[in-house]
A = this chain, B = another copy of it.
Amino acid sequence: MKTNSAKTDDRTRAIAERVFASETKDDDVRDEISLFDVPDDCPILNQELAQHVTEDDDEEKRSVNKIMPFQTVLQVTMDDFELACKGLYRALTIREKYMRLAFQRFPDTPSQFLRKIEGEQWKPEDQVLPVFTSPPKSGEDPFCTKDFPPNLGYVARMKDGVIYVYKDAASADKHQPLNHPGPDLVTFIDDMNFLIALIAQGPTKTYTHRRLKFLMSKFNVHEMLNEMEEMKELKKNPHRDFYNCRKVDTHIHAAACMNQKHLLRFIKKSYRVDADRVVHVLKGKEMTMKELFASLNLHPYDLTVDSLDVHAGRQTFQRFDKFNAKYNPVGASELRDLYMKTENHISGEYFATIIKEVASDLEDARYQYAEPRLSIYGCNPNEWTKLASWFNKHRVFSPHLKWMIQVPRIYDIFRGRNFVPHFGKMLENIFLPIFQATIDPNSNPELSVFLKHVTAFDSVDDESKHSGHMFSTKSPKPEEWDIVKSPSYSYWIYYMYANIARLNQLRKERGMNTFQFRPHCGEAGAVTHLLACFMTADNISHGLNLKKSPVLQYLYYLAQVPIAMSPLSNNSLFLEYNKNPLLEFHKKGLMVSLSTDDPMQFHYTKEPLMEEYAIAAQVFKLSTCDMCEIARNSVLQSGLSAEEKIHFLGTNYLKDGPEGNDIRKTNLAQIRMAYRYETLCYELNLIREGVMAD
């Protein structure tokens, strides 16, 4: 494992800093060829490579195309090939390490190749998996507060932005934490700088770019040869088609999970029933719903989707600020408070009812699931208790919903208003209550119930905002970060991850469910976001900017990092529909799923997820097999429990390749599964050959 242990030297760090600087500069220039791009047909590059191929005929510097079925695909010199493979190998080991540390997934196939390279035996026990709460058995109450494990009596305390668990206050004072391994900041920064240098490294860029092009062409050939055979397999598959195979909406915000028409109808209905109910307090004065609407010069009867004005239109394209304003019905934050908040004068009753209506639609549709995201801001340590109380009070549970927590990266706003003294406090507000509820579940039974149903954390904000700060070992610690500016994306991501990793250690130890890290990433902004998440995230939302970095795109492919894509959302915000890389990623074999993001803002029909699939199918001409593969990806990516995944995908769903696929449940052709598996093994094997060459 010589390559793995190599510490990033000063030279690499310097490169990383240069890359970061140029990245910052480039940020406004869209559509230009970025530092990470390799032009499709760079004449100089081709000449250079052609020279290598024709000149060197000796064994020493032989061109690798000998091991390739297609001579033209891998025209790089042996040196460059080895360099690229070693870099990619180390990158994969980095991800593997951080995934294990946090009980997140790293697929068996790349693990097996890594072990082979290291001359070690891969053991099935090495597989690390997140733990999700199974759905309640019949008669079981999902809100039951009994049977929580006893208080461990530990002390949880933050140090340098990370919560540690100590046996007692005395060990806490001496900082002698219990053994819950977490990432080490210095190593993490080293690893990160290595990756930053790697994604800008010429030979690796060339190599990965060519491999991706090859993957694309290979899939096109596969399609031409096997499309009809795949369809034949599906036609023979009884009783299962795209409509009745399970699909999960892997990225949806709770506050926008209803469509505009649903919200409108709900507002009208609530007014018919509750006009005289006190629903709001303005400057200490109670207001009925009638009075509230009167103060806004509105009558719900007249309200339309136009006046509601929550749909993203042409005005929101490239304007995330305008988009955010769309969360306010009729532009009135009072209505957002009343209908789309968990905390208000009516204890979030309407919001809970709307979500339960959405859940009931999913239950009726039978094969659709969703993972709504609720916000924790980190402004106040009570947020968790309040959110949990809302969840329990209104019994917001459905077997078709899996919950996620989204943390908006709006430290600058809270700091600006002096709500928090420093960034560390925000992290503490976000994580300390969960550590405490994990140590002593009975101290906050409602929170403990809620946490059972939470499957993951998200990190959200406009990624195109650039902080200008570069995360390094010299960065201020979170408790020292007291300026009004927000820390960088990577800084945020690291501290979220570091806390989740340690929290999962503790929860796993206690037999509790763990949390995945599933941030928004690569929707806009610097490609380094995708790098930070390659290290830390089980899976991401969006990933559009993988277009800009062949190295990262190839790494996401090799590690099969799931990506929840929302082309309709992108179409309204960042990227026109037919330019969306969904099809390209899917063809190359990246593990993509389809998700709605915000039905309220983007969708027109009663079934937003089906609308998302239908439009992708129409515009990209997806085959049934493609759609079923994407649907299967969505279940794998989701926080559905192992029990549910077995039910929806088959007993061996964790196995890679055709073995892991039960066509009777997934309607996904085995030919496709075999193609994907063989292709991935082929790519991984190339890396093995490159690393083992000398």
Contacts and interface: CB of A to CB of B under 8 A. Distances in A.
A603 interface: yes
Interface stretch (A117-125, A303-311, A370-378, A495-503): A303-311
A238 B304 contact: yes
Contact of A606 (B231, B602, B606): B606
Nearest to A236: B307
Contacts of A613: 604
A71 interface: no
A314 B578 contact: no
A241 to B, nearest CB: 4
Contact of A241 (B231, B237, B304, B621): B304
Contacts of A363: none
Interface in A309-338: 309, 313-314, 317
A438 interface: no
A646 interface: no
A683 interface: no
A301 interface: yes
Interface in A374-413: none
Nearest to A234: B306
A624 interface: yes
A677 interface: no
Nearest to A365: B606
Nearest to A578: B578
B603 A614 contact: yes
A314 B238 contact: no
Copy tally for this chain in the complex stands at 2
Interface string A282-306: 0000000000000000010111111
Contacts of A244: 304
Contacts of A243: 261, 305
A605 B604 contact: no
Given A604-B613, A606-B606, A611-B605, A618 B306 contact: no
A487 B605 CA distance: 44
Nearest to A238: B302
A636 to B, nearest CB: 22
A118 to B, nearest CB: 44
B237 A618 contact: no
A169 interface: no
A359 B615 CA distance: 25
A614 B604 contact: yes
B605 A242 contact: no
Contacts of A578: 577-578, 619
Interface string A592-622: 0000000000111111001101110111010
A364 to B, nearest CB: 11
A568 B618 contact: yes
A235 B307 contact: yes
A616 to B, nearest CB: 10
Contacts of A236: 307
A235 B332 CA distance: 14
A193 interface: no
A667 interface: yes
A25 interface: no
A187 interface: no
Interface in A530-579: 568, 571, 577-578
Nearest to A331: B235
A241 B614 contact: no
A614 B572 CA distance: 13
Contacts of A240: 304
A623 B302 contact: no
A667 B607 contact: no
Given A301-B239, A314-B623, A619-B578, A306 B614 contact: no
A482 interface: no
Nearest to A261: B243
A237 B305 CA distance: 11
A138 to B, nearest CB: 26
A227 interface: yes
Most chain B CB inside 10 Å of its own CB: which residue of A240, A605, A610:
A605
Interface in A223-273: 227, 231, 234-244, 261, 264
Given A235-B306, A313-B621, A313-B624, 14 more contacts: A231-B313, A236-B307, A238-B301, A239-B302, A240-B304, A241-B304, A243-B261, A243-B305, A577-B578, A603-B614, A604-B613, A611-B611, A615-B619, A619-B619
24 contacts: A231-B306, A234-B304, A235-B306, A235-B309, A236-B307, A238-B301, A238-B304, A239-B304, A240-B304, A241-B264, A241-B304, A241-B306, A242-B305, A243-B261, A243-B305, A244-B304, A314-B623, A571-B619, A602-B618, A603-B614, A604-B610, A605-B614, A606-B606, A619-B619
7 closest cross-chain pairs (CB), A and B = A238-B302, A241-B304, A604-B614, A241-B305, A234-B306, A235-B307, A578-B578
